[in-house]
Structure 1
Amino acid sequence: MALVEIKQVLNKFVEKESEEHVSTYNNVALTAKAEGYADIEAMLCAYAEEEKNIAETAKKVLELLSVKDVLSKFAEKESAEHVATYNNVALTAKAEGYADIEAMLCAYAEQEAEIAKTAKKVASAL
């Protein structure tokens, strides 16, 4: 299952969990209260609270998946564009006889590669 599909399923789950399930338990709890069943009302309110907590947890997972997606794209761009740009400019500097500028740009390219590597690791850990 692709990340996009997982996010869609989680989105629907969060909606259903937070809207339908919580309100259903709360509505039935109100009926139980009106009919004098305080113990059943308390039980149903506890169920509603659990449903709310489940929805909040699923929402947090969804947010983490979004962060993972952003970090993955960042890592790709960082390694593909930034590293290549610094290396290309470094080659030009070398060809023109600027060894000190070449060395500086190569060091920048290495830092960009490390940033991309770290972003990938964090994304993988999520």
Structure 2
Amino acid sequence: MAIKRKTKQLPLVPVSSMADIAFILLIFFILTSAVDMEKSIPVDLPLSEISTTTSGGYFHVWLSREGGLFINGAPISADDLISTAKYRAAANPRVKGMIGADREVGFSRINTVMEMLRDSGVFNIVLLTRKKENADN
């Protein structure tokens, strides 16, 4: 009578679900990093007593105190701003260009960006401000 030896089975880790988990984590990190981009731009908006909100069909143009120009949180050149604005205006003629400029930025620079947007076909332009907490400030 021959004695059979048991062959040692190697433990198996199910890897099919690991790819799904990795994909979900990748999507999560991409989305959360895109949200944090606008918060990291050093722009101190001026104060305003009137506050309204807008929804849909817009893009943000940020002007930093140091001279940086950003669209939706990403640094961009003036030529790229014009081409992006033309693309957005062609896709949606009612698109809003929302300009957020640091309070130390001169109006001539803000006006230059407004003219660039208008020349690109973006005619709905909004200047962003922060709401005053008290009327005394």
TM-score relative to the length of structure 1: 0.30
> Which one has the bigger strand percentage?
2
> Which one has the bigger helix percentage?
1
